[in-house]
Structures are given as C-alpha cells and as structure tokens.
Amino acid sequence: MNIKQKIVYGNSTIKDIRLVVEPWGREFILEPNSNVDIIIEGNTMLGCLEIESNEEGLIICGWAGSIISIYQNGIEVC
C-alpha cells in the first residue's frame, strides 16, 4: 500500500540538530527553536521508516522505493 505521511519535527533545544536522511546521505542542520516537516512517501509492503537519534542528531532511514523530503517554511531544504 502506498502512503504519504507528514511528521512535524521540532528542535526545542539550545543547540543545532543535524538531520541525516539515509540511504541518500543528505543532511540538514535544524537550528534551535525551529521546526521542519518531514514528508515520507512509499509502498509500506516494501519496507518501513526507521528513525534513530544520537548525540549528534536524528537519522531518518527510508526503504527501497521510498521518497523522503524535508521542508522548512514551505521550502524543500533536504
């Protein structure tokens, strides 16, 4: 089944957070007190979204055939 889902992610810390979109290796720095919209599209029969956080930031992992886009203020940034 194909899906399109939006996740709103906010940085409420006082430090930058690095967002990494895998397996494409795209990166975006999310500044303190700002938000992004993460749009995920793909066939859920082929895989699922994986999200991992560590000291450096957030890693968003897509699956074969998925598309992940990150928007800030309506503009695609990653």
If you write DSSP's letter for every residue of 13-55 in order, what string do you get? SSS-EEEEEETTTEEEEE-TTEEEEEEEEEETTS---EEEEET
Confidence of residue 56 (pLDDT cuts 50, 70, 90): confident
Q: What is the pLDDT of residue 32?
A: 97
Q: What are the structural domain ranges in the chain?
A: 27-78
Amino acid at 20: V
40-64: average pLDDT: 95
In angstroms and rounded to an integer, the radius of gyration of the C-alpha atoms of the chain is 12
pTM of the model: 0.90
Q: Apex CA 58: angle with CA 50 and CA 29, to 5°?
A: 135
